[in-house]
Structure 1
Amino acid sequence: MNYKVLDVCRHIINYSNEKGYGISNLKLQKILYFVQAYFLIDKEKQHPCFDEKIEAWDFGPVVPVAYHEYKAYGSGNIPTIKSYILINKNNFWDSKRVEFNDNIIKDEDKKLIDSVVDSFHEYSATDLVSLTHRQTPWINAYKHYENNEITTKAIKEYFDD
């Protein structure tokens, strides 16, 4: 089962804050890329964590949906998410605030996601940008002024060595 990337983001943000790591939008984007990689190469899962695409932007891999959700925080840390606004695309006025339910993500999947966050928490967002800029999934997809997709196939091939 694949999750919605924004649910994965909310879990990562809350876990990062609970552990005292903090997480900016730029760092969140790189963590999502590594979470996707870990899910793709996990011997039991071997499927994406989320279906939304990852693109090669100037500062490394980015999930556009997630980027736009949290861009208002700039380079600052994103606060804990207790609730969020669920937007009704058919009728904006029917949008509502809902509590974030972390049980959407299975415990075994949370463990894998948390292990990725734990592995990279000491790296700055800039460190992670540099790291992803040296990896072929981003290198092969990146073209200046284009937001080309970094495919799950490219991620799996690179990390499965």
Structure 2
Amino acid sequence: MTYQATDIAKYIINKCTIEKHAISNLQLQEILYYIQKKFLEIGLKAFEDDFEAWPSGPVIPEVYYIYCGFGALDIRMKYDIH
């Protein structure tokens, strides 16, 4: 079962907010990259979204644009995750 990158991003942000670990949009992109990398190593995909090569590194544009309003500041949000 694959998820949307936005759903995994919400989970990561939720976890970081609850555990009081700051996370920026750039760090979020990096975590998504490593999650996908680990899944691909075992022949699966964590999500179907594709990364783009940006100057700052691999980025999933849809996720980036959702959180770009935070700039380099920490993303602190809570989502109702089921």
TM-score by length of 1: 0.48
Structure 2 counterpart of 1:31: 31
Structure 2 counterpart of 1:66: 63
Distance 2:67 2:78 in 1: 11
**Structure 1 residue matching 2:8: 3-state secondary structure:** helix
Structure 1 segments (4+ residues) deviating >4 Å: none
**Identity rate, percent:** 37
Amino acid at match of 1:73: F
Structure 1 portions without partners, runs of 5+ = 83-99, 104-161
Distance 1:19 1:40 in 2: 28
Note the C-alpha offset of 1:19.
2.0
Distance 1:38 1:23 in 2: 20
TM-score by length of 2: 0.91
Distance 2:45 2:61 in 1: 16
Amino acid at match of 1:39: F
Structure 2 portions without partners, runs of 5+ = none
Calculate the aligned-residue CA RMSD, in Å. Answer: 1.2
Of 54, 58, 72 in structure 2, the residue corresponding to residue 75 of structure 1 is 72
Task: Tell whether the 8 Å contact from 2:17 to 2:78 is kept in structure 1 after alignment.
Answer: no
Larger Rg: 1
Deviation digits for residues 3-44 of structure 1 (CA, Å, limit 9, x no counterpart): 0111100000011122221110011011110010111124xx
Count of paired positions:
82
Which one has more relative contact order, counting CA pairs under 8 Å at least 6 apart?
A: 2
